[in-house]
Structure 1
């Protein structure tokens, strides 16, 4: 997309800001028969009690939470074996490839996850959770982390990511200090083709 033409949150997040859930023990639907307890390594914003309670009630499986400090720390813990008790993790969609390449995940049987049929099409078709042979190791579930929050009395129309580069708002805007989104957003606004931006982000 050319600079100045407006880059929507939906477009950029569809490719670079999705999250994924990856299981080291297989599909969740088999959890009831396989285990009585599972350990989920996740971010503190994801482990809401209402989510956990519903899962536990449906499956009879007790969920223990292990909170993450960073993506790199999560990968290192798995790589060194210090997180051998984890059953499910939350890698970023663009970071899933290194877990798959390192052989840290088990293949997921999507036939045992019926709700997968309700996912966005872009989540169903992304190759970012597959290995070279097409086996799937993670499930995208999160659309994005960077909503645009703004005051309607300060904007004549709904802002998009080109607004971040508008001199009119210099010193008045902020965004999360995270290279994954920052590089992708800047690239799209500058006119770098979308497939090139996303390829750069996954390398």
Structure 2
């Protein structure tokens, strides 16, 4: 496995579904147009595929407010960026299991849901307030959710019902992982049979260390972001791995590659990416942007262009114009089945992030 990790490319076209332009919609003009001021720039720390440049430029023109999207490749990078001093975000797209970390770091403030009436459009299948609250107070509002399944080349890999296939000697040097301790460690914990993948015992930590040590020889390079993973798989440098976002699978399918994904029997880590606001971002125009992001029209375009799940249920997605061929490659149909949710393990606050980070960094450096 290479110890160096390539810097993520910011070109998201390889993971965007063709035809996004056809889904464009006009956003309503605000009732009062104010002169653009320096503080009327909204800075986003967001993910590849989440906010395409033409969309935010359209919204910026309609609302006389500049939106600057800075794309990140991992949850750990998202946390570190504001402390670098180079970025002062108004909005950060945080998975629910990391919200407590961002709150403790002073990076987000309590979220005022009353300023986002379009939160009513979030599918009731997503019990988001349960995971997006700390001490009874909502910290963020969902923008997208998804599974982190096992992905594989169906022409090569036949057994896909367990995470243990990642350790199969037949695939030595052909497994891919992505560089994000927060999102990867729970899968390792599920693989070793941890009772609670977010609250490990010392014995379970030892088992995770052993599992990572033996996994290292399986991996040639660790991916940084969706584009990087897509490139690695497309080049044949990996045939299976832990999937950061199913958009990677979709992008490979669009290139004629026979990639698929499965939900292993041990459980599949599942994320809910939520928009949290900083103290700087706690102002009406920022909430207006977040509210507009939850309209059926915006969500329809997002789902269509990226093949992500967004926040709509399948009926509302269809009503908003999402085509059946897109719905079939999302989890929208799956989510209607109660048994589907039983296979998922939603990210939560873990017991000791520093300990996990140290083990993960030792794994990457080969000193574990």
Q: Same fold (TM over 0.5)?
A: yes
User: What residue number does 1:105 align with?
Assistant: 108
Number of the residue aligned with 1:124: 128
Out of 39, 44, 48, the residue aligned to residue 40 of structure 1 is: 44
Q: 1:50 to 1:139 in 2, by over 3 A?
A: same
Q: CA deviation at 1:191?
A: 1.3
Q: SS of 2:152's equivalent?
A: coil
Determine the C-alpha separation between the residues in 2 that align with 1:53 and 1:147: 33
Residues 66-101 of structure 1 show CA distances to partners (whole Å, capped at 9, x for unaligned) of: 455823423525xxxx47853212334322212223
Q: 2:350: which partner in 1?
A: 202
Unaligned stretches of 5+ residues in structure 1: 1-30
Are 1:51 and 2:55 counterparts? yes
The answer to whether the 8 Å contact 1:101/1:131 transfers is no
Instruction: Find the aligned partners of 1:178 and 1:149 in 2 and give their Cα distance.
Output: 17
User: Which of 80, 95, 99 is the matching residue for 1:73?
Assistant: 80
Larger relative CO (CA 8 A, sep 6+): 1 or 2? Answer: 1
**RMSD of aligned Cα (Å):** 3.5
Secondary structure of residue in 2 paired with 1:91: strand
Larger Rg: 2
Asked if residue 169 in structure 1 is aligned to residue 317 in structure 2, the reply is no
Give the C-alpha shift of residue 145 in structure 1.
Answer: 7.6
Q: How far does residue 197 in structure 1 lie from its aligned partner after superposition?
A: 0.8
Distance across 2 between alignment mates of 1:168 and 1:52? 46
The Cα of 1:53 is off from its aligned counterpart by 3.7
Task: Call closer, same or farther: CA 1:175–1:85 in 2, change over 3 Å.
Answer: closer
CA contact (8 A) 2:45 2:78 kept: no
- Name the CA shift for 1:157/1:165 in 2 (closer, same or farther; >3 Å): closer
Q: Distance in 2 between matches of 1:162 and 1:140?
A: 32
8 Å CA contact 1:32–1:59 kept in 2: the answer is no
Q: 1:156 to 1:67 in 2, by over 3 A?
A: closer
Gaps of 5+ in 2: 1-29, 201-348, 352-368
Pair 1:126–1:172, CA change in 2 (3 A): same
The TM-score normalised by the length of structure 1 is 0.60
Counterpart for residue 25 of structure 1: none
Q: Partners of 1:187 and 1:89 in 2: how far apart? A: 27
- Closer, same or farther: CA 167–142 of 1 in aligned 2, 3 Å: farther
In 1, the alpha carbon distance for the partners of 2:189 and 2:129 equals 23
